[in-house]
Amino acid sequence: MPLMDNLKPTILVSACLLGEAVRYDGTHRRHDLLTKQFAIEFNLMPCCPEAGAGLGVPRPPVQLVAIDKKLHALGVEDSELDVTAALQQFSKDFLYSAGPIHGAILKARSPSCGVDSTPMFNNAGDQLGVTNGLFADTVKRMFNALPVIDESKINNRQACQVFKIAVEQYFKECCGL
């Protein structure tokens, strides 16, 4: 059982939050709490669905557009650019092959990673509300009990602590501890 003492829960993290310059504009959104404190307590698994889907860095920005009750990731400047299928395929492939994950911290407002914070538009460009990004939605559907939060909420000490406890509990349940 000594090996189990060295194991730490694995948290899936949007790569831009770990300092990787993978955002659409070639920048990152490094989050010090993640790269310093969380990196000590947890194994962090970076992922950028948009870069992973082959969309390039930099790339044209996309937004979520509701068409016939389905979400599409379309270009902001060129609505003919539709990366929906590429993002959905990458999401499924990555999550099936990722190995055990015990939580996820994703980039707020992202068309791929946003957790209940991504603006959703109609064809006329009117904002209809907010929703999950395509990758975040796949994570939540495939792992409905997985603790998932966006980086804006880990700035709240209480929400951060609740998330950490949920990750530890999920890890224990997964490992049969």
Express each pLDDT in 8-45 by its tens digit. Answer: 999 999 999 999 999 999 999 999 999 999 999 999 99
pLDDT score at 6: 52
Q: Mean pLDDT across the stretch 109-137?
A: 97
Mean pLDDT, residues 88-110 taken together:
97
**Taking 50 as the threshold, does the pLDDT of residue 2 lie above it?**
no
In angstroms, the CA 17 to CA 106 distance is 8
Q: State residue 63 phi and psi, 5-degree precision.
A: -140, 160
Given this model, what pLDDT does residue 117 score? 96
Task: Say yes or no to pLDDT of 72 above 80.
Answer: yes
Q: Residue 119: how many CB atoms within 10 A of its CB?
A: 14
Q: Is the pLDDT of residue 119 over 90?
A: yes
Q: Residue 3 pLDDT more than 60?
A: no
What pTM value is reported for the model? 0.93
The four Cα atoms 92, 97, 103, 104 give a dihedral, to 10 degrees, of: -50
pLDDT at 7: 85
Q: Could you give the percent of the chain with pLDDT greater than 70?
A: 97
Q: What is the 3-state secondary structure (H, E, C) of the chain?
A: CHHHHHCCCEEEEEHHHHCCCCCCCCCCCCCHHHHHHHHHHCEEEEECHHHHCCCCCCCCCEEEEEECCEEEEEECCCCCCECHHHHHHHHHHHHHHCCCCCEEEECCCCCCCCCCCEEEECCCCCEEEEECCHHHHHHHHHCCCCCEEECCCCCCHHHHHHHHHHHHHHHHHHHCC
Q: Which of 4-8, 91-95, 106-110, 143-147 has the lowest mean pLDDT?
A: 4-8
Single-letter code of the amino acid located at 145:
A
Domain boundaries, the chain: 2-169
How far is Cα 23 from Cα 20, in angstroms, rounded to an integer? 8
Please give the order of strands across the beta sheet that includes 43-47: 43-47, 10-14, 103-106, 148-150
